[in-house]
Chains A and B, each alone.
Chain A
């Protein structure tokens, strides 16, 4: 079931990345917030992967080429601004996606109805940080702009239709662009000028073609589980 894998892998991989912040966040409140978001995403991933098979087999025993997440979510954390930029792009996307799914009658409607509440919180959190960093100090402005620019080329992939996800992808992209543009402008940031899709942008995560940091992430994530075949935990 490709659709459940695509949505589940997005949530699983981003959750893992956010989990890497534990013990490293800039303020204690962010230790709580980032872990909270990571937990919400992990919860979503578990439901979605369970629709597709055994959650642990899927998470721990698939190799890199079998993962269906978009490349955006596997990008390394970088600095806090880089993490917030990734989170802004993804949470606005995920909220739009889940709102449409929740409004429909497909197999993901129930899950989406619950998840959209969590994702609304994620989006609120990330929008506020985008404003604070963009419109904070000269340094934070520059870092936030760099994060937003660097990750821009990974955003086009978000709107490639996923088979089995029955939504209006064009309207998802339009509303995403309008929301992201609004937040960036309010944060005194510039909407990146480069292409969102086409040559040298991301577009193959859903086909199992990933970026270099991803293999290393999986090596760490899967190591223990793979070292004890058949064990239960």
Chain B
């Protein structure tokens, strides 16, 4: 946004989008806010050193942290099957995927850090239950086919949500999403191919695939968040061009994509109300159980407790390792600068 010109600021003023007086909300003067609004309106990227409203910053931290946490917690349901993957090829694919997710978590924490927070702070909030992660990861992976259903449906829903984020107004987030979406598309195809193999396999494998889709379909639709009339952050996020489409719009897009894919897989979607609506040019579908969604968000889903406990335990049990790395770094940083050599006393 450094390239915001006086012209744009003037335009913003002319359009009446500038705060009338200096010292408006966030202690900003009107010119700063005007420049910000103009940059967003002009589809320019906001960068870390640019001025931004406090609420924009807070909203981005909330969303990016939740996104990063989802990558990290999302490793668990899939890692649950690494040790039992039924072929070496599938095992390699699954390991690579879980590794990618840790990498996505790292990108997203780094991107969030450009807003003045830190990974440690965000992880502490996750562990304390003060920041959320995607509701989907509170469902258990009960069979091997769940790994495929997660790839096809969960990653598919994530991509539908995330592709528009590649054009998000905040530069570091948008750039992280470009890299992440490429890898997610790859995972999604692999999940689809896994289900396709099961669908063409033995009767027991087909049954396993159908059962997994039955269990993951509705939770995947919930990934798009509450319906538009109940979405707290949507309107503001759309004004700021953090979000580009409403929850319901993206959900509809996802359903329309999935229906023909399910047919190609030879699987059904567990919704008796699902049918093509010629007039709308979209599929109608049944109503989502929002009570279940709210319960899962509140921490009462099938695996909320388990997921958070494992995350906290990994962090706590790793404390001595992080302490060791820090102590070593301090010692050897000092050495470099004072020409000390390692001594036995260092560890005595």
Contacts and interface: CB of A to CB of B under 8 A. Distances in A.
A137 B327 contact: yes
B197 interface: yes
Interface stretch (A41-49, A119-127, A201-209): A41-49
Given A23-B79, A46-B88, A188-B347, A133 B321 contact: yes
Contacts of A27: 318, 321-322, 325
Contacts of A7: none
A42 B88 contact: yes
B313 to A, nearest CB: 8
Nearest to B123: A28
B98 A23 contact: yes
A46 B102 contact: no
Nearest to A32: B102
Given A42-B91, A43-B92, A143-B320, A224 B144 contact: yes
Q: Which label, helix, strand, loop or mixed, suits the secondary structure of the B interface?
A: helix
Interface string B91-126: 110011011001101100100000000000000000
Nearest to B101: A31
Interface string A38-57: 11001101100100000110
Contacts of A80: 318, 321
Contacts of B326: 136
A224 B144 CA distance: 8
A27 B82 CA distance: 19
Interface string A121-151: 0000000000111111111110100000000
A225 B325 contact: no
Interface in B191-205: 197-198, 201-202, 204-205
Given A31-B102, A32-B102, A22 B79 contact: yes
A129 to B, nearest CB: 8
B83 interface: yes
A46 B319 CA distance: 35
B316 to A, nearest CB: 10
Contacts of A170: none
B197 A233 contact: yes
Nearest to A142: B347
Interface residues of B, number: 53
B90 interface: yes
B99 A39 contact: yes
Given A23-B79, A224-B86, A231-B201, A135 B320 contact: no
B147 to A, nearest CB: 11
A59 B314 contact: no
Interface in B49-95: 72, 75-76, 79, 82-92, 95
A98 B119 CA distance: 39
Contact of A135 (B92, B105, B323, B347): B347
A42 B95 CA distance: 10
B328 interface: yes
B324 A136 contact: yes
A23 B310 contact: yes
B6 interface: no
B107 to A, nearest CB: 11
Contact of B102 (A28, A38, A141): A28
A55 B327 contact: no
Given A39-B95, A136-B327, A138-B347, A186 B342 contact: yes
B26 interface: no
A140 B323 contact: yes
A49 B87 CA distance: 13
B321 A135 contact: no
B328 A131 contact: yes
B87 A233 contact: yes
A60 B144 CA distance: 16
Given A22-B75, A228-B202, A29 B106 contact: yes
Q: What 5 A-B pairs are tightest by C-beta distance, nearest first?
A: A26-B318, A136-B324, A140-B324, A35-B99, A31-B102
22 contacts: A16-B83, A20-B82, A24-B317, A25-B318, A27-B318, A27-B321, A27-B322, A28-B106, A30-B321, A31-B75, A35-B102, A42-B92, A56-B88, A137-B323, A138-B347, A139-B320, A140-B323, A220-B84, A221-B84, A228-B202, A232-B197, A232-B201
Given A26-B315, A220-B84, A224-B86, 17 more contacts: A22-B98, A30-B321, A36-B99, A38-B95, A42-B95, A60-B87, A131-B328, A136-B328, A138-B347, A139-B320, A221-B84, A224-B84, A225-B87, A228-B86, A230-B202, A231-B202, A233-B89
